Structure 1
Amino acid sequence: MSSKIVFITSYPPRECGIATYSRDLIEALRTYIRVPFDPLVCALESEGRQYCYDTEVGYTLCAASFEDYHRMAGEINADREVRGVFIQHEFGLFGGEYGDHLLLLLYHLDKPAIVTFHTVLPSPDYQLLKTVRAISEAVDKIVVMTNHAADLLVTHYRIRREKIAVIPHGIHQVPKETSKQLLRRRYGLPVDSRILATFGLLSRGKSIETALQALPSVIDRFPDTLYLVIGETHPEIVKREGEAYRNLLNYMVDELGLGSHVCFIDRYMPTRDLLEYLALSDMYLFTSKDPNQAVSGTFAYALSCGCPVVSTPIPHAKEVLTEDLGILVGFEQPGQFAAAIMELLAAPERLRLMGNRALQVMASSTWSEVAKAHYQLFCEMNMFPFDTTASRLPSKTGKLVRQVDAKQSRIRAAIG
């Protein structure tokens, strides 16, 4: 009998950060751990959207359908080969207020469960507090990616610290061929220019306009500056408003006279190409306008490629970005961005040292190390090593599993 862990998450070809994260984590577990492990993905889908998945996707769940969560719990419980469930949580991925439809699945689930909170919001209102606490009570372990997020769960949500594991966002190792000049020639970019970069699925929350407003001052002093904006518009944004945000950015480029200094690369880029674009850049600009954005994969990937960062102070950046890695500036403050960019461009040796330091600091966050940390957590939860001779899988203990009727009432109360 083979043994499986069910990953409940969005998954490629769906284009979102958590889908990419989950694919990379599963691949890392396969590549670096080398244990008898069959990942079985339960892919989250929005209403009316279906995708053609690879073979590891064994289930799909319509996130907006309350009844689908009960059905999925039953299917997972019925599969004796499933040793546990691992959930990637973001509030917008699951149906209901604050994604509380997930509680229906958790309260009926008779397997060990772990949840990764990709977002932890400070100062929760009553409904958010109740939902997050209910999820935390229904799982065996919680994973977050920063110490700041762990502290919020303890102080704002009253969750026991020993139930929380901090495992950083995984990063890919820098490409072996890292000569900036060679990479720039490969992608048809000017070899001697000063290249700034931003990447990710575009939305208004990215605040790319802040970087555009900073550029005129930078270009006055460094006329050879080129700013790369890499990535297509987020598919959910396209559904709601088409390309209105990208059109706004193009309009700003024209109004500010930046036509020869800004290059939009409007496509969803393979990981290898993306890493090479970061490796050929002199600096990464992280302009998010969300002060509660707990973690950023784009921020981590930039540092992993030896790219110094000028960033707004999201919790992830405040925790990681020391003065030998980059500069923190205020939210939606183009003047501060311009000053920080010029400060670093005027000091090429400082930029070089920052890049080298970034490679050293991020070495502990490679996907191989992140996979090992998850493997250890799975072992603690008796998901690994697998005991295929067991006549039945261990159930959770406590009221959350034994008293299904009571839990059903609590779920509906939580949803309000």
Structure 2
Amino acid sequence: MSRQWGIIQFSKGNRPDSSTGYTLDDTARALMAMCQVVATGQGKVKERYVKTYLNFIRYCQQPDGSFLNYVDKDGIFTSQNEEVGLDDSNGRAVCALGYFISCAGHFPAPWKEEAEAILKRTFQRFDRIESPRSIAFMLKGFYYYSRECPSAQTDACIWLLANKLAQIYRRTAEVHWRWFEAYLTYDNAILPEAMLLAHLAIGREEYKEIAHESFEFLLKKVFVGNRIQVVSNQGWMHKGKSSHGFGEQPVDVAGMVIALKTFYQVFKDEKYLRMQKDAFNWFLGNNHLHQIVYNPATGGCYDGLEENNINLNQGAESTVCYLMARLSLLSD
């Protein structure tokens, strides 16, 4: 699905639909996935793909350090950038840059310098970021960046972002609702995972406590026995109300698979490994339709589960998220 500018956003069946253009979201994920392949020793990657993804992130960055998300097939920014919130895509870009820098020893040295320059231009944006997920993705990126380039400035960035997320949690969390918002929506697992990574980076116990408390709450909401059923994108799950409807997306399952690995690495609780395998098996048929979501014939991943059918399109988000989840099973 990768072309001149990045990775194509959508497909019709297993055929990339170039008319849908590219997004920073998908290209950032693709950069992380390629780096994961190298970091886990699962094979070689074509460096031109990595450079294409890195170039796209640089292309999307604006003079004030922020990023635009939507680019058409000819490389022109679309009007969607003015109509849709971009905080989360900005966070994913920071996450991908931090992860790339942590793996940059596998790639030409100037690429690392380029990624660092892009990342540092985002610093001026921190005081404007309020979206919990954007904060969480940034935290994850700076955690990885700090592993390769430790500094007091990086720790200060992590402290600032983690305190923001902790304050969001304290404002909302109650006895029976241990969460950052008054609802559960998409990509939920990144929030507790980011708090746990912040703890690992700067050692503050409060972050670890919030991470564990919120993650256990989330697990109870999305696991039924040994099967995961993530929050439906048809209305989400609001505090004090039951969740209704179907509409499960690979991005949510993959995020949980990855977060479970992180929690196991810190807490050494074997249940997290068991749940990680159960969650990953959603792709292989352990879901309410008992149907495989990963397509072994193409290497792609279907775009989600509805009540009675699978969405057979195999877009960039679904396919890359599946790959990242699979690779997380193999990492140390």
Normalised-by-shorter TM-score class? under 0.3
Please say which structure displays the higher CA radius of gyration.
1
| Larger proportion of helix | 2
Q: TM-score, normalised by structure 2?
A: 0.28
Q: TM-score, normalised by structure 1?
A: 0.24
